[in-house]
Amino acid sequence: MIDSHCHLADEAFEPDLAEVVDRARQAGLRHALCVLAAGNAAEARRADRVATLWPEVRFAAGVHPHEAGRFAGQPATVVDVVRAAVADRPGVRALGEIGLDYHYDVAPRAVQQLVFGRQVTLARELALPVVIHTREATDDTFAILREAGEGQVRGVFHCFSGDAGMARAVLDLGFYVSFAGVVTFPRAEDIRGAARIVPLDRLLVETDAPYLAPVPHRGQRNEPARVVHVVEALARLRGEPEATVAAGAVAAYEALFRP
């Protein structure tokens, strides 16, 4: 089992990180991708502890669309911040999470687009996959990936929240699709439709912990061990054994992130 996207270095885990890691291991998790905010020094210190407690963990580093406003007027400098975050940590296997969020619009859209595009270009240069966060910004996300990635960049759409049609577009672009606990939420029929059509070799599972706890833990702090509920839900709606889904997700994780 794997968790392809969690924020284990978040301050929410500071009090009991060792127990959280123990529970993940007991749940059968071998690997996890811990997503870091490039340039966040406090989180970087906590990430050192994550790496000590769970040496198999690998990292992604990037500037989230919510943070893009820091680079308004000087979007090119995002490249220096992300490059430094990658250089400082040997376990970085991806740039992310990066993308566009037009639901919250925390940063102006034009700035989000520039900051995202620069990071996609950097991913191409560094030959690293990207972890994409996109919300209500499907067309612009694809346009920037095509233009800045020039067909050379691969990655994953994390916490996939589109329908089957969007999943097909993601697959056509050569990307992976990662499902989180949202797939267990009652009103997620479109997302479940997408989860039925993604081939096993492009399917990833994640918690996005500490966010997005799946049913039956909804509303609580989420943690990597709970990825088993995502696998259960996917197995049920795809009509496949849980072991098949879990093995597929592990193989896809290894193919994409080379942990």
Query: Which residue number, 50 or 238, has a Cβ lying nearer to Zn ion?
Result: 50
Spatial separation of the C-alpha atoms in residues 93 and 104, rounded to whole Å: 28
Query: Which residue number, 82 or 238, has a Cβ lying nearer to Zn ion?
Result: 82
Q: Report the nearest approach of Zn ion to the CB of residue 5 (Å).
A: 6
| Residue 189-208 contact track with Zn ion, rule CB under 5 A, x = bound | -------------------x
Q: How many CA atoms lie within 13 A of 97 on its CB side?
A: 24
Spatial separation of the C-alpha atoms in residues 128 and 256, rounded to whole Å: 9
The distance between the two most distant Cα atoms of the chain, rounded to a whole number of Å, is 51
Query: Which residue number, 43 or 97, has a Cβ lying nearer to Zn ion?
Result: 97
Stretch near Zn ion under the rule CB under 5 A, chosen from 18-26, 92-100, 179-187, 218-226 = 92-100
Q: Report the nearest approach of Zn ion to the CB of residue 76 (Å).
A: 24
Told to check if 46 binds Zn ion by CB under 5 A, we report no
Query: Which residue number, 99 or 248, has a Cβ lying nearer to Zn ion?
Result: 99
Told to check if 133 binds Zn ion by CB under 5 A, we report yes
Q: Report the nearest approach of Zn ion to the CB of residue 199 (Å).
A: 23
Spatial separation of the C-alpha atoms in residues 103 and 115, rounded to whole Å: 17
> Residue of minimal CB distance from Zn ion?
133
Peptide bond into 232 cis (omega under 30): no
**C-alpha distances in Å from residue 138, one per residue of 24, 86, 162, 167, 180:** 33, 27, 9, 11, 18
Residues that bind Zn ion (CB under 5 A): 97, 133, 208
